[in-house]
């Protein structure tokens, strides 16, 4: 799954990669968590959206927001199947955090050749006009599977336009796959990341263990 990530991006690189989107500078958030709001790229716009999807049809105020959506079941789940064709989005980051399922140690996963890690997601608008998004996940690639069995869907440069297009999901479904091993790097980091109260680059420092 993807439950925490870093938003510390190079705006010059972002403007070059997404020239048709009006992206303005925003303060870095090193420990971005569910319920927080972030500028998200849709087909033609950049919209401030809360992390944690609440489908438009939900009436129950106790509904638990959906932070992730499994790529394998997007076309089956009521919360997602009506969004995959018309409400795809891209969530910008520079890497995400994952905790080893066995040791519980935190890791920071980053792209190897860019300062941008673009997550594929879906968004919706509730009856009160509030936007919310979810991050799509895939099976982990071989490198990440050493610590966890899932990873976010990462859209590589060149596929952004297709993902944000109004094409049917069936036509771009091949993009929903794990990122290749060589395109990500990972390092064990400080447990400071465990608390969202810690929001600075220090939480991304590599841990040097003595053996």
- Active site members: 2, 98
φ/ψ of residue 79, rounded to 5: -70, -20
- Write down the residue that tokens 């009506």 correspond to: 82
Token duo for residue 134 = 């979810």
Interatomic CA distance for residues 67 and 137, integer angstroms: 10
Interatomic CA distance for residues 132 and 210, integer angstroms: 43
> Residue 19 contacts by C-beta under 8 Å, 6 or more apart in sequence?
none
Nearest to 7 by CA among 22, 28, 38: 28
Interatomic CA distance for residues 116 and 93, integer angstroms: 6
> Residue 163 contacts by C-beta under 8 Å, 6 or more apart in sequence?
88, 90, 120, 155, 172, 175
């Amino acid at each position: 799954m993807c439950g925490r990530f870093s938003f510390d991006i190079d705006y010059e690189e972002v403007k070059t990669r997404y020239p048709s989107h009006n992206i303005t500078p925003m303060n870095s958030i090193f420990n971005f968590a569910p319920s927080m709001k972030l500028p998200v790229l849709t087909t033609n716009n950049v919209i401030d959206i809360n992390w944690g999807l609440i489908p438009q049809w939900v009436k129950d105020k106790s509904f638990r927001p959906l932070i992730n959506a499994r790529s394998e079941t997007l076309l089956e789940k009521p919360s997602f199947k009506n969004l995959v064709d018309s409400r795809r989005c891209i969530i910008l980051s520079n890497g995400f955090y994952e905790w080893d399922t066995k040791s519980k140690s935190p890791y920071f996963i980053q792209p190897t050749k860019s300062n941008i890690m673009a997550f594929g997601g879906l968004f919706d608008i509730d009856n009160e006009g509030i936007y919310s998004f979810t991050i799509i996940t895939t099976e982990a690639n071989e490198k990440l599977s050493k610590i966890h069995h899932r990873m976010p869907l990462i859209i590589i440069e060149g596929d952004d336009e297709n993902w944000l297009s109004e094409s049917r999901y069936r036509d771009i479904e091949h993009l929903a796959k794990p990122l290749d091993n060589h395109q990500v790097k990972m390092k064990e980091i400080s447990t400071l990341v465990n608390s969202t109260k810690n929001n600075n680059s220090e939480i991304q420092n590599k841990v040097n263990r003595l053996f």
